[in-house]
Chain A
Amino acid sequence: MSVQTEARTVPSKRVERRAARARRIREPRTDRIFLFCVYLLLAVFFAVVLAPLLYIVASSFSSPEAVSSGRVLFWPVEFSLRGYHAVFQNPQIVQGYLNSLFYTVVGTIVSVTMTIAVAYPMSRRTLVGRNVVMTLILFTMLFTGGLIPTYLVVQSVGLLDTRWALIIPQAIGVWQVIIARTYFRTAIPDELVEAAELDGCGDLRFLWSVVIPLAKPMIAVVALMYAIMQWNSYFDALIYLKNPDLFPLQLVLRNILILNTTGGGAVDASVVIQRQQLADLLKYSLIVVVSVPVLLIYPFVARYFTKGIMIGAVKG
């Protein structure tokens, strides 16, 4: 029975679809040409953005000779992992990687905690004084003391040339506070607060066992924003750190790639070319190694990032 009905529905569906197509207003020719141009344009966008990425990745998997002679285009030539081998043998890079992991993990935890700690009270309507505080917080977006005055504060607090210099001075982002506050306001109904108060649940307990579990998606977005910011930043390290052992990966990367300092050593004429080739290759591999963590998680979080933009957009 079921087989028969299925068999019968297939052609009838096809007929229906054909009928529907016939009923629809056919797109005029100019529109179809226009649509074709749109697809073409998007393909160009796609190619232009992808090409440099592909070129870097392809080069990173090629042999040093192929890279130096410029034979690599968008596919590895003479496949080899020597670039990656060199990357992970460089003590500076490994140390930088570990440092960056530390800064990202600890920095994100500190930032998220601080952001919630200030954003949640700001979201409670019965809290007197929150408008004054919020104005003071928002004002820091408009006007800043500047580089040197901030540097002097970091210096006088004694953070200079310590790991905390990369975590504490940038701990709170005003934008993230706005996102968190707006989310707390819109996603947590006032009735819930009232019910909790009636049951004798204190503010902190309510925050911990009701608000935070409910706000998990937003907290994830904010945490990822902070994590990516921390992973990608180099400026604070540049101005606050002198000890190379504390350098995050981005600063190591800058020293190797942009300032071209791979660390010299004895120079043997025959080795020089080879070393130069390997140093070139290392750059490509290093770029991949640095960007992969972020690019791996990005497709999963891009959606939430978009949502985060929207949340921030709702007037606070």
Chain B
Amino acid sequence: MAVLTSIPPPAGETPTRPRRRRRERTTVTGLRRSLQRHWTLYLLMVVPLIWFAVFKYIPMSNAVLAFKSFNVTKGIWGSPWVGWQNFELFFHNPVFWTLVKNTFVLSVYTVAASFPIAIILALALNEIRNGLFKRSVQLVTYAPYFISTVVVVSMTILVLSPRLGIVNEGLGFFGVPAIDFLGNPDYFRHIYVWSDVWQTTGYSAVIYLAALSGIDPALHESALIDGASRLQRIRHVDLPGIMPTAVIILVLAVGNIMAIGFEKAFLLQNPLNLSQSEIIATYVYKTGLLNADFSGATAIGLFNSVINLVLLLMVNTIAKRITGNGLWS
């Protein structure tokens, strides 16, 4: 999938190798001949393909559970058909709109915060000379990306802890009473988003830096000769240069807006901030695995998956319009 189509390939590789066009043979004889010639390769694929069938495609067919009332003894296929009942139950559930809103707001907020900051970091790094400072900034800002979600959340909790945390220590210095950040639902979104920004900005900036390094230096030189200031060159050379990459990344982020991950929200959750921290993914986990309502949870999950798919397809169409290039061809 060409998420970052505009990034030039690494030096020394030619992605567009002259390709000999073979005449299309009839599929059946072609397949037979290919099987004869490459039977070892087909054999090689067998295990991974079985894996895809079992762990990706059977779950997709299992999603039919959403329209059934699951009965452990009868299994998925033997359970009675109930049609849209599970969906209706979910839509009429008072938490429905809260879940959708929480998921949506959290996602949009994350994109809105991390998207511009990553670009700013990349532009700033691109302005300065290669040297120790630049390398250290890159190394340090990139590092949190490799830390696990559990650790990031643990660090967040420790840093913000009302009893031990350095933040409250600092606030106390100015006479502000200790704040229980995680116990207050109003802070949840900010904590989630800004710890995410902390973790991923350096990584995202790398993508833009690659796009920036692909800009023709002649453009910068001619702008320089014309007397453009640094800011003007950023505005008129760098920004247009990374625009295609930025559009694709933004579009992809928008397409994934309802697919926000379970992991972090679940870890940051506690009974006190649930009113804002409960998102669709965590609710699915709770109804399905903790309350053993398999059909209900499958229905909610399916609802979410379908929305994601529709969003992605829509967004792909828009991306094709804007950049002439979809996320996949």
- Interface, chain A (partner B; CB < 8 A): 25, 28, 30-31, 34-35, 38-39, 41-42, 45-46, 48-50, 52-53, 55-56, 67-68, 70, 73, 114-115, 117-118, 120-121, 124-129, 133, 136-138, 140-154, 157, 168-169, 171-172, 178, 185-187, 189-190, 202-204, 207, 228, 231-235, 239, 250-251, 253-254, 257-258, 280, 283-284, 287, 290-291, 294-295, 298-299, 302, 306-307, 309-316
Contact = CB atoms under 8 A, between A and B. Distances in A.
Contacts of B7: 309-310, 313
Contact of A148 (B55, B127, B297): B297
Nearest to B126: A38
A137 B55 CA distance: 12
Given A153-B58, A204-B44, A313 B140 contact: no
B202 A49 contact: yes
B321 to A, nearest CB: 18
Given A142-B309, A283-B158, A315-B2, A294 B146 contact: yes
B222 interface: no
Nearest to A197: B37
Nearest to B300: A146
B141 interface: yes
Given A287-B154, A309-B207, A234 B263 contact: yes
Given A146-B298, A186-B13, 4 more contacts: A35-B230, A49-B143, A121-B41, A144-B60
Contacts of A235: 262-263
B93 interface: no
B15 A314 contact: yes
Interface in B139-178: 139-144, 146-151, 153-155, 157-159, 164, 166, 169
A152 B62 contact: yes
Interface stretch (B45-53, B103-111, B184-192, B271-279): B45-53
B147 A291 contact: yes
B127 A35 contact: yes
20 contacts: A28-B229, A42-B125, A49-B201, A118-B44, A121-B38, A140-B57, A145-B63, A146-B63, A146-B301, A148-B289, A149-B298, A153-B55, A185-B17, A232-B146, A254-B267, A257-B158, A258-B157, A287-B151, A287-B155, A310-B7
